[in-house]
Structure 1
Amino acid sequence: MTGATASPGPVARGPVAVVLKGYPRLSETFIAQELLGLQRRGLAFEIVSLRHPTDRTAHPVHAAISAPVRYLPEYLYQEPLRVLRGWWKARRMPGYRAARATWWRDLLRDPTPNRVRRFGQACVLAGELDPAIRHLYAHFLHTPSSVARYAAVMSGRSWSASAHAKDIWTTPEWEKREKLADAAWAVTCTAVGRDHLAALAPDPGRVELLYHGLDLTDFPPPAERPARDGSDPADPVVIVSVGRAVAKKGYDDLLAALAALPAGLHWRFVHIGGGGLIKALREQAQALGIADRITWSGARPRAAVLAALAAGDLFVLASKIAGDGDRDGLPNVLMEAQAAGLAAVATRVAAIPELIQDGVTGVLVPPGDPPALAAALAAAAGDPVRRRGLGAAGRERVRTAFGHDAGLDRLAARFGLGDSADGAAGLADVA
């Protein structure tokens, strides 16, 4: 099937299987908001998750999604009879040989247990899906798209993908080219990601830019914030960041920057998010002598995140390109912080400049540059009037250019819902 010239137009209207790596996930609110928006627009779908949830809580948006959830065998050895039944059904499907040949070519270039697991999960998916479902839609271009692709080829269905960040920048180029050649269409959430994928697609028009955007009903006009300037040790400036403790988020750089803030500037730092580097970051903060000024909140539900944004004075995200090429797309937390009226300091990397206009709607500094980040934080922390102006401008930009309805309308049109995507506010034109 590689190299097929599938149409980039809408798929036939009908129920869809949405393939996700894990569901529900606190860190993927943007996916849940999209699913709820599609549900409200009339799309019938089933959620297919490759992994079981690991978060202890979920967001209210997850409870509002009524779609059934199917969990595939996370590891094939855990459900051998189910895998065997799926393979037995799949091998009788007209596209099984083509799917197996595609997988075998992939395996020769990527000889990993994960690649084997993807094919087994695809067999289960193809064997279990309701015949009424004729299209598979995968979030992320790496593992979920592999499972969707193999299952679609086996069973004669179409498939499409939504690409984001890590999946774009860490997936091998050969794999991206072949998946984009096979997919009916693809969407992605940043202009930089769109340009990269469009250059690899057989038809650049097959890849469309759709910003996730925000449901701004969650963000009423912010209350007046205290005019903290860091001069009062009893009332320090509250600096907030939300993000997983992984290399691309640059929290090591942020801690170094915080440690370099002027001695007379009184501050507290609140971090929200899980991640494998939390222990190392705590140790770094201790070594830097700033541990007593930091609150590590861990992963928190959406209500707690919004409350932290409302209580903060300044938001910061020190994203950078990790050693393996992984990087952010356009972090939803930046849009959420600005929608809450919070002034933001961030790095000039990935798609962040598509949102933040330096000196107008926020402050941008080079990635991987703690001294520059420290200078920007010190200037913003000590100037509540400037923070108020940046926060108001950032909120207005999010309100006018990054509302989620236009993008959802265009995505719904891809699934055959609504009259067309024409007339929707062009989110692709705001970068």
Structure 2
Amino acid sequence: MARDNLAIVVKGYPRLSETFIAQEILGIQQAGIPYRIVSLRHPTDKKRHPINDRITGAVDYLPEYVYQEPMRVLRGWLKARKMPGYRRALNIWLQDYRRDRTANRARRFAQAMVMAAELPDDVTRIYAHFLHTPASVVRYCAIMRGLPWSCSAHAKDIYTSQDWDMREKLRDMDWLVTCTSANVDYLRKLAEDPDKVNLLYHGLDFSRFPEDLPERPLRDGTDAENPVRILSVGRLVGKKGYDDLLRALAKLPANCHWRFIHIGGGNGEKYKKLATELGIADRCDWQGARDQKEVIAACQSSDLFVLASRIEKDGDRDGLPNVLMEAQLCGLAAVSTAISAIPELIEDGVNGKLVPERDPDALASALEALITDPRLRETMGRKGNEIVRRDFSFYRGMKELAERFGVNSQSDEQAAIPAEQPAAE
């Protein structure tokens, strides 16, 4: 099996909320697999993670909208229509468009034509991150170019997509990896060949984290001058449940002293307004988007981590958020919800507490139990660190992915896959 030369297709690059993708791309680079990044959108974040500075592959940006680059789209069509697979790709797209008459679907075919026309001839496989929009572009392009393609699926892309769309993509691709057992079970029911769907946890690169856990003060919420520091990291979007969390915090006893620190992008005005209405605004610290080094530093200086994830009406949800693994690796006990794959990491009463989604009362009770018991927090945090180091190493998954891309001899693996390093650089 020859080593692939990849075109890695992502929705946007770089993105602060997609550290796991950057980490994987860096792993592909370190494994000596040739690649280039193809992004459907230009970056919008004002900051970027340090890991993105280590990624040296070429980045191609496709036209986000046809009207912005009409001549580029026209040139793409003139070249793509001469390709042997163009007619089949067009027929598949027309069939898709009849079932999904949206401007988004139309744009994807335009992007696919540009990508098919501009992709270098030495690319041997296209690899999509996310099963919805990026996989649509990849599918049409791969058919035009006659190239094999594969996909990595995550959460929103699975649970907000139509079954027919995922079923037909699974039929056409070589294989798919996804980051939770819950996702595997769901997608295997849709696939004609269930063996195409495989579990591959994102995992963490332990070398970017301190090896030793910090010595945390035994804060118990009794000292107003030294409150328990409660951290949450996540975009300010509905599926993260920050309105549920704020309502839970407001339910804590008046003599329970805490400070809530939030890190993440998004429009925070409605949450700040809610905190004011609930009378807890003076206890909330909204820090906005931060890079991974800053997130790790916040984990090191906090006492407790919380993420009130929930399933939205359109099906959007978290899978297994990387921030939960990062907090656990830093020795933080975690309070979260028993949805999706979160129970694959957090075992209730062992390394954290799990509560039902959309239940501020239950969330408040779990928070109070850990705020007032620093010894329990410490025990759970150490157990969480042990579980992540045992089960969620990035290197284990990266070795399997490299094999899928043709790094298949023992000597290749030893040379290409970097050795796991437990300490931060």
Query: What count of residue pairs does the alignment treat as equivalent?
Result: 413
Aligned partner of 1:6 in structure 2 is: none
Aligned partner of 2:420 in structure 1 is: none
Q: How do residues 302-313 of structure 1 correspond to structure 2 at under 5 angstroms? A: 302-313=292-303
Aligned partner of 2:182 in structure 1 is: 192
Does 1:224 pair with 2:222? no
Give the aligned residue type for 1:228: R
Aligned partner of 2:283 in structure 1 is: 293
Give the aligned residue type for 1:75: Y
Q: How do residues 51-90 of structure 1 correspond to structure 2 at under 5 angstroms? A: 51-90=41-80
Distance in 2 between the 1:35 and 1:234 partners? 44
Distance in 1 between the 2:335 and 2:409 partners? 40
Distance in 2 between the 1:314 and 1:14 partners? 43
Show CA shifts across 1:16-56 (max 9, x none): 10000000000000000011111111111000000000011
Residue 418 of structure 1 deviates from its aligned partner by: 2.9
Residue 12 of structure 1 deviates from its aligned partner by: 4.4
Q: Is the 8 A contact 2:47 2:289 kept in 1?
A: no
Does 1:137 pair with 2:161? no
Aligned partner of 2:200 in structure 1 is: 210
Distance in 2 between the 1:14 and 1:210 partners? 19
Residue 283 of structure 1 deviates from its aligned partner by: 1.0
Does 1:102 pair with 2:81? no
Residue 98 of structure 1 deviates from its aligned partner by: 0.3
TM-score (norm 2): 0.95
Aligned partner of 2:259 in structure 1 is: 268
Q: 1:181 aligned to 160, 171, 180, which one?
A: 171
Distance in 2 between the 1:279 and 1:110 partners? 34
Distance in 1 between the 2:46 and 2:206 partners? 26
SS at match of 2:189: helix
Q: 1:238 aligned to 223, 229, 241, which one?
A: 229
> After alignment, is 355-364 or 166-175 more displaced?
355-364
Q: How do residues 11-410 of structure 1 correspond to structure 2 at under 5 angstroms? A: 12-219=2-209, 220-276=211-267, 278-410=268-400
Show CA shifts across 1:34-82 (max 9, x none): 1111111111100000000001111111011110000000111111111
SS at match of 1:363: strand
Aligned partner of 2:423 in structure 1 is: none
Residue 304 of structure 1 deviates from its aligned partner by: 1.0
Distance in 2 between the 1:99 and 1:184 partners? 17
Aligned partner of 2:421 in structure 1 is: none
Aligned-pair identity in percent equals 59
SS at match of 1:321: coil
Residue 221 of structure 1 deviates from its aligned partner by: 1.2
Distance in 2 between the 1:271 and 1:81 partners? 44
Distance in 1 between the 2:106 and 2:2 partners? 31
Show CA shifts across 1:113-152 (max 9, x none): 0101000000000000011102100000000000000000
> After alignment, is 413-422 or 11-20 more displaced?
413-422
Aligned partner of 1:5 in structure 2 is: none
Distance in 2 between the 1:57 and 1:74 partners? 21
Give the aligned residue type for 1:244: R
SS at match of 1:227: coil
Distance in 1 between the 2:235 and 2:134 partners? 21
Residue 422 of structure 1 deviates from its aligned partner by: 11
Show CA shifts across 1:304-335 (max 9, x none): 11111111000000001011111110000000
> After alignment, is 410-419 or 252-261 more displaced?
410-419
TM-score (norm 1): 0.94
Distance in 1 between the 2:202 and 2:358 partners? 26
Aligned partner of 1:419 in structure 2 is: 409
Distance in 2 between the 1:422 and 1:166 partners? 33
Any unmatched runs of 5+ in structure 2? 418-425
